[in-house]
Chain A
Amino acid sequence: MATMTPQRDAKFAAKLALAYGEILDGIRPALQRVSLRLSGDGGTLELRNTATNTTEIWQLDGLRLVPDQARTDALVLAHQGSGDARLILRDHEAIRALLAACPNLPDLGSGRGSLGKLLALGTAAVASIALILFVLIPYMADRGTDLIPPEAEVAFGRTTFESLSETMEFRECKSLEGDAALAQMQARITDGLDLAWPLQIRVIDNPAINAFALPGGQVAIYRGLIDAAETPEEVAAVLAHEIGHVVNRDGTRSMIRSMGSFGIVGLLFGDAVGMSAAAGVSQRLISSAHSREAEIAADAFAHRQLTRAGLPPSAMGDMFARMQAQGLGEDMGVFRHISSHPELRDRIEAAMQADTGAANGAPVISSAGWAALQAICI
């Protein structure tokens, strides 16, 4: 106690000499009366048990305040090195004297548990969750997708499409020539593919520029996409992309992923702060991170397949670039899962680079077929 002046020291000693406290020795459940006396050079507190006449010495700088006590009429003190023992002071004079002598009495447990260790463990916890969400669950989804019987997946896809169709009020477009053109396009781009189930490609009467693939070979193209395309090759490129999702079983995989990670992010937040919303946002971020990979893989599939069929992969790049130039925003369906412009540019660039100029010039469908496809919803 280097900060104590001799005068205060003496006053403190004088006051405390008259003071009594109660001690819990942390061995027996009994309150024992002690008389308090300052001793040594003023750096120690002598606790003399009035019943047993034994004396204990506590260092003043080893004193710790037991914090957050509801009662302010008593001071509860612990001492480093005295284990579970507690000193209870009720005498106001003695409390005041002690607090004056030790103005910066530290709280019990304030220095416990190093920050470094906590940070390390916290980082480990967040890292393990990230590992589970981004490595383990995707891995199991990849493996697990192969364990699912194709018939179950086809049934699942059909049911999903039916319920989607009901809620979105889809109207399926059909015409003899249009269907024939679509079948011809499908045959050209799936040439040489061995699919586990038949593709079911539909055109939906909806002005949005969109297309999607569901598990079990269910593919849908919106009328808006056909309207926005300048050539049938552009439609074929989007179709090839969606077939890529089917071949990669992305619909099933992403379902397994989202089911697998259900409820995990919520663990971190608890409901202590009503952070369910934060949990929801994180969940969305995770699924969009997963689907970006899937989009790139489906693009790569499309490039390969189009090249093999003698069609230009650059058609996809042309279409995207034109829509970007027209200022059709990211809210357009085709751009879903794409969160920034650089990624769209990357996709356009990849499509252009994949074009080796090997296209044989034969159109994917005849101009009559293209006209029929454009008119399929009329």
Chain B
Amino acid sequence: MSTVKTDFGGDRGDLFALMLRTSFLTVITLGIYRFWRLTKLRRWYWSSIRPGGIPLEYTGTPQEKLMGFFVAVIVLALYISLFNLAGLFVAFNMADNDISYMTYAIGAAPLALVPVIFAARYRARRYILSRSTWLGIRFGMDPGAWGYAWRACMYWLLAILSLGLLWPLMTFQMERYLTDRSYYGTAKFRQHGNPFMLYPLAIPFYVLGAAIVGVLVLIAGETDEATIGWYIILIVVLSVLLVLSGFYFRIASLRAMAGLKELGDGMEFGIEPRTGKLLRIHIFGNLISGFLISFVSPVILGLVVGFLYLIGRVDAGAITNPPPNLAAFLGALTWLTVFILYGVFRQVFVTYPTVRHVAATLELEEPAVLQGIRQRDVDRNREAGGFAEALDVGAAF
């Protein structure tokens, strides 16, 4: 009985350089380079996560992503246009002189994309697993995107109709669906446990939700304005706590379910990210990114204007009262620097520490199970996350 621990070996400065270079290329190629950026980022992150000292490897290629994306765009363009038009005709024929129905029917057309989004997520995950290796052995996933999509739609509907009471049920069932279809080499993953084990983790969320409803009821019956003021302050405080308890539920349920996953015959896992730590990362990471962007962007702008002034392209009068083309150029430049740099800063100060913290808590128990595992066949799936990319529902990297 031994435990394999994980270390994280990526350097923040390297990531900054990689992110800056690839984000710039992405913008000047009108987005085409984003498939190369995504591939490079994944290779980098994967190689910095080293369970037992051996880095993961990401083997996906930008070319296959671009191909998958093109195919997805063609299919989705057909699907979206057909649904838009169908919605319109149904609306026109149902509307029957009452135009307000039509607005609803047209507004509902994008709902046709919801199952496609779930399927796209499943496929993106399958693609990523099939292009990930550790110790030279591939991960993998069975096909099952549409089964996932309709289950996800049903569970979401249940969760909404039950006012959130069935949310933990959904969380567990969807995680089990994904886990039970995943492989490492020839060995299968299995999710143990049951949905009820997640309910204790959701108690703070439910209590706070009930408290907010209670205060709202009190407000409705109250006439004294001062008291209503206090109630509103109370609601604001409770709402902040509600968001935090939702955050806690997400992380705690991830921990609980990871502890009950099994690979093959007896290999177990632990992922122990701390809610407080992740919360700090998100709050401070976003603050730092915002602060840096408000500092760096004017500096860049100033340098460019100063350079133009030095080479004589603008004079002092043009700076206080810029002609339209200069104003447009500076506007575009500001937008670009803010857009590129904000993404870079968030990657470096939010995503990076998050991945580092989560990865460093990963532990594998009973590594002897590995001895019975062999390589699995290459998953020739051509989709390569293209649908998730076209619908913009991909992961952070």
Residue of A31, A67, A262, A270 near B84 (CB, 8 A) is: A262
| In contact, B136 and A85 (Cβ under 8 angstroms) | yes
| In contact, A70 and B44 (Cβ under 8 angstroms) | yes
Query: Which residues of the partner chain B approach A124 to less than 8 Å between Cβ atoms?
Result: 70, 74
Residue of B10, B34, B66, B99 near A156 (CB, 8 A) is: B99
A272 with B26, Cβ < 8 A, contacts A76-B55, A137-B81 known: yes
Residue of B74, B78, B96, B391 near A152 (CB, 8 A) is: B96
Query: Which residues of the partner chain A approach B374 to less than 8 Å between Cβ atoms?
Result: 27-28
Q: Which residues in window 126-140 of A have CB below 8 A to B?
A: 128-129, 132, 136-137, 140
A136 with B81, Cβ < 8 A, contacts A28-B373, A159-B99, A263-B110 known: yes
A129 with B10, Cβ < 8 A, contacts A29-B185, A30-B370, A275-B30 known: no
Q: Give 1 or 0 for each of B72-105: 1 = CB within 8 Å of chain A CB.
A: 0110111011001100110011011111001000
Compute how far the CA of A35 lies from the CA of B191 in the bound complex, rounded to whole angstroms.
41
| In contact, A121 and B135 (Cβ under 8 angstroms) | no
| In contact, B95 and A155 (Cβ under 8 angstroms) | yes
Tell yes or no: B45 within 8 A of A by CB: yes
Nearest chain A CB to B20 CB, angstrom units: 15
Residue of B61, B70, B77, B93 near A121 (CB, 8 A) is: B70
Tell yes or no: B154 within 8 A of A by CB: no
Q: Give 1 or 0 for each of B124-141: 1 = CB within 8 Å of chain A CB.
A: 000000000111111000
| In contact, B371 and A267 (Cβ under 8 angstroms) | no
A26 with B137, Cβ < 8 A, contacts A70-B11, A124-B74, A144-B85 known: yes
Compute how far the CA of A271 lies from the CA of B43 in the bound complex, rounded to whole angstroms.
22
Tell yes or no: B9 within 8 A of A by CB: yes
| In contact, B88 and A144 (Cβ under 8 angstroms) | yes
Tell yes or no: A197 within 8 A of B by CB: no
| In contact, A152 and B81 (Cβ under 8 angstroms) | no
| In contact, B63 and A125 (Cβ under 8 angstroms) | no
Residue of A30, A118, A144 near B371 (CB, 8 A) is: A30
Nearest chain A CB to B294 CB, angstrom units: 18
Query: Which residues of the partner chain A approach B225 to less than 8 Å between Cβ atoms?
Result: none
Tell yes or no: B252 within 8 A of A by CB: no
Nearest chain A CB to B389 CB, angstrom units: 6
A152 with B95, Cβ < 8 A, contacts A26-B375, A28-B374, A270-B34 known: yes
Could you write out 27 A-B pairs with CB less than 8 Å apart?
A: A26-B137, A29-B134, A29-B370, A66-B57, A70-B10, A70-B47, A70-B55, A113-B64, A121-B66, A121-B67, A124-B74, A125-B73, A129-B73, A129-B74, A137-B85, A140-B81, A140-B85, A152-B95, A155-B98, A260-B81, A263-B80, A267-B73, A268-B73, A269-B30, A272-B34, A273-B31, A274-B339
User: Which positions in A face B, CB cutoff 8 Å?
Assistant: 24-31, 66-71, 74, 76, 84-86, 88, 109, 112-113, 117-118, 121-122, 124-125, 128-129, 132, 136-137, 140-141, 144, 147-149, 151-153, 155-156, 159, 256, 259-264, 267-275, 278
